[in-house]
Amino acid sequence: MRALCWYGINDVRVETVPDPEIINPRDAIVKITSTAICGSDLHLYDGYIPTMEPGDILGHEFMGEVVEVGKGVQNLKKGDRVVVPFPISCGHCYFCEQGQWSLCDNSNPDAWLAEGMYGYSAAGLYGYSHIYGGYAGGQAQYARVPFADVGPIKVPDSLTDDQVLFLSDIFPTGYQAADNCNIKPGDTVAVWGCGPVGQFAIKSAYLLGAERVIAMDEVPERLRMAHEQAGAEVFKYEGLDVVEMLKQMTGGRGPDACIDAVGLESHGTSFMAFNDMVKQRMRLSTDRPHVLRQAIQACRKGGTVSLAGVYGGFLDKIPFGAAFAKGLTFKMGQTHVQRYLAPLLERIERGEIDPSYIITHHMSLEEAPHGYDIFKHKEDDCIKVVLKP
Amino acid sequence: MAVPQTTAERGIQDTYNLQQEELKGGYINVGEIERVLSVLGGGVLTLSGLQRFSLKGIALAILGGGLVYRGVTGHSNLYQKLEIMTSEKTPTISKLPGNQGIKIQRSMTINRAPEALYNFWHDVEKAPLYMKHIASVKTTGNNRSHWVAKLPMDTIVEWDSEMTQDEPNTLIAWQTIGKSPIASAGSVRFESAPTGRGTVVTLELEYYQQLGGELGVAVGRLFGRFPEHEALENLHHFKALMEAGEVSTIEGQTSGRSKK
């Protein structure tokens, strides 16, 4: 089959590789009909995530048709149309049973690697380096789906691929970020980043009852989309004192919750941000916390800082004194997608939201390297690329 | 202190003991970061020493070599003489008294009742399902069994084992008997975890070094990391098998490395 393989910084290639096969009884094989490039894939493309091996297949946002099931899978059969959640979860450990699917104890075959770095290993993910299990990803024609009896969700034929594909990752991710803000009536939520996850965080904040959502980015197309499609109040943060701006927009109180939908590659124009970038390029530090610093400073006293954006390593110079003095709550982590699949599918079916609006580019799997390029450089007004294998 | 009964109580006792233990007992007395720096710095010195064909060069190379050794083994004779330890003590691996060998201890909480876990572990012929390097186990009667392991580079190792203790749903203990490449003994304990968490499984393994003296200890220490890693991996696999019904793997999966 054809698959998108990683070979180094800015080097991804579509190659012919063996078809995936059933290895364990609870596996299924899915023929992929649509697959997307995620913002977090860019961290792999840019070389910031360690333990990648040349030849690894990328991709963790995919859906398609079941073509084969292992003998341990009773609830799916050949021909079922499913969306596959990006965390791989066994369904029976303490964490899965608590609904904390992205913390599964049993789905990382290289648990010792993650334990060395993080103390404990969380769930394996598709196509996201060996510290997360080294599983072959879904930017391909077929994928092996472990624990297929608890992961994938069947979707009705009345909804198109474009409408349901983002249940695999970014819609639940934005939703969880907003859910973690514990939104109360009258609340104002500030969102850093109007990329796909930010867009869904904005929409989700409104769905969960926020009075106002204020969103920031530097890219005009993304700000326009956030305002026109998601209904946020927007401003461009370049060169602006964001903390003061948010304070003034909220009558001097600060936003009740701050969502970081940017993660470890945040840009900034201050000296500190430049310092961060240099350190990261020189590999002296791994993550850039420019947005996180702003979120901590801007958040109202007693508020919540909710991190959707991926962080991988270590952060420098975080204003923790400010966080402590203001009594902030921090919520973060990989998305517990399985928890949100059914409720969010229902919202789509009811017409409350049509996630397909964020797609700006469709292309074939063969053009994926071009897709990565324009997505990374935000060229051609690119916001989200969906690939057809 | 009364004899500790539960794992929690034993944990407190172990921590108490660690704090009382004399520093000079530890073999790995060089901290992790220092070890990396030792290897890097030692490597540079060795290489630059070897490039100079002079007495000074030889001296540099020897100094470099010493640093590399220190980094790789984690042991510094100087530190030992000065009774300094920059490494953190870990409760999972320790020396047996009198340089007899090493002891490894690992716990894991498994989301099943003690009975289910005890019964599965007791059936030794199932060991290959969760112990990576064990190829086969056959019971040979009288609480004994014959084990065959396949190690890297196609090395086959065989030994006989005897169950020495068997308390249903609580404890199983064993030791190798007769001629065996590695003399060892072990036990696995099953205790109910706090409400809703399942069972705490504690694995203890002792490996007796069969080479004499300090060299034996050094080899044991280097070698010790491998059984400790194995023990942890085996517990992970046992847990996955008991909870999820299968052990997660990516072996045999497709990638760009096996392209047509």
DSSP letters, A341-376, are: HHHHHHHHHTTS--GGGG--EEEEGGGHHHHHHHHH
Contact B253 A5 (CB under 8 A): no
**Do the Cβ atoms of B256 and A56 come within 8 Å?**
yes
Q: What is the pLDDT of residue A303?
A: 98
Task: Tell me the average pLDDT of chain B.
Answer: 77
Question: CB-CB: which of B239, B250, B257 is closest to A109?
Answer: B250
Tell me how far apart the alpha carbons of residues B148 and B138 are, in angstroms, rounded to a whole number.
9
Residues of B with CB under 8 A from a CB of A: 109, 111, 197-198, 229, 232-233, 236, 239-240, 243-260
CB contact under 8 A, B243 and A106: yes
pLDDT of residue B77: 67
β-pair type (B101-110, B134-141):
unpaired
A–B: how many Cβ contacts below 8 A?
109
Residue A178 Cα distances to A96, A227, B176, angstroms: 21, 17, 57
- The answer to whether the beta carbons of residues B81 and B69 sit under 8 Å apart is no
Which one is predicted more confidently, A44 or B41?
Answer: A44
Q: Under an 8 A CB cutoff, do A20 and B109 touch?
A: no
Residues of chain A in contact with residue B225, where contact means CB-CB under 8 angstroms, are: none
Residue A254 CB coordination number (10 Å): 22
Q: Are A344 and A171 in contact (CB under 8 A)?
A: yes
- pLDDT for res B18: 46
A297: DSSP letter: H
User: What is the reported pLDDT for B24?
Assistant: 36
- Give the angle B79-B85-B89 at the CA atoms, nearest 5°: 145
pLDDT computed for residue B132 by the predictor: 87
Q: How far is CA A157 from CA A78, A154, A250, in A?
A: 15, 10, 44
Ramachandran region of residue A88, left (φ > 0), alpha (ψ -120 to 50) or beta? Answer: beta
What is chain A's alpha carbon radius of gyration, rounded to the nearest angstrom? 20
Within 13 Å, how many C-alpha atoms sit on residue B170's CB side? 6
Is it the case that residue B241 has pLDDT exceeding 50? Answer: yes
| pLDDT given at position B93 | 79
Inter-chain touch A54–B240, beta carbons under 8 Å: no
Nearest-by-Cβ selection for A18 from B232, B244, B258: B258
Is A2 near chain B, with CB under 8 Å? no
Judge residue B183's burial from the number of C-beta atoms within 10 Å of its C-beta, 0-12 exposed, 13-18 middle, 19 or more buried. Answer: middle
DSSP A148: T
Residues of A in contact with B240 (CB under 8 A): 90, 105-106
In whole angstroms, give the CA distance from residue B240 to residue A269. 47
Whether the Cβ atoms of residue B133 and residue B149 lie closer than 8 Å to each other? yes
- Residue B228, pLDDT > 90, answer no
Which pLDDT belongs to residue A267? 56
ipTM of the complex: 0.89
Beta carbons of A90 and B257 less than 8 Å apart: no
What is the rounded distance in angstroms from the CA atom of residue B161 to the CA atom of residue B138? 10
Choose among A112, A124, A144: nearest Cβ to B229. Answer: A112
Query: Is the CB of B248 less than 8 angstroms away from the CB of A108?
Result: yes
**Confidence (pLDDT) at B35:** 65
H/E stretch holding A132 reads none
Residue A72 contacts B where some CB pair is shorter than 8 Å = yes
Residue indicated by tokens 């998305």: A335
pLDDT at B240 over 80: yes
**Chain B partners within 8 Å of A13 (Cβ):** 256
Residue A23 C-alpha, separation from nearest chain B C-alpha, in angstroms: 7
> Per-block average pLDDT, block size 10, for chain A (389 residues)?
96 97 97 96 88 96 98 97 98 96 95 85 95 96 97 97 98 98 97 96 97 95 95 92 96 97 66 63 64 95 92 83 98 96 98 96 97 93 96
For residue B20, pLDDT beyond 60: no
Stated as kind and residue range, the H or E segment containing B25 is none
CB-nearest partner of A23 from B245, B249, B257: B249
- All residues of chain A having their beta carbon less than 8 Å from the beta carbon of residue B108 are none
> Quick one: which of A268, A245, A241, A246 has its CA closest to A257?
A246
Residue of A nearest to B233 (CA): A112
Taking only the tens place, the pLDDT of each residue in B55-102 is: 777 777 777 777 776 766 666 666 665 555 555 667 787 777 776 778
How many Cα atoms are found within 13 Å in the side-chain-facing hemisphere of B176? 16
Q: What is the pLDDT of residue B151?
A: 78
Half-sphere exposure of A55 (CA within 13 A, CB side): 11
For residue B39, what pLDDT is reported? 64
Span of A68-82, B6-20, B32-46 with lowest mean pLDDT: B6-20
What pLDDT does A225 receive? 96
Q: What is the pLDDT of residue B78?
A: 65
Tokens 């984690």 correspond to B74
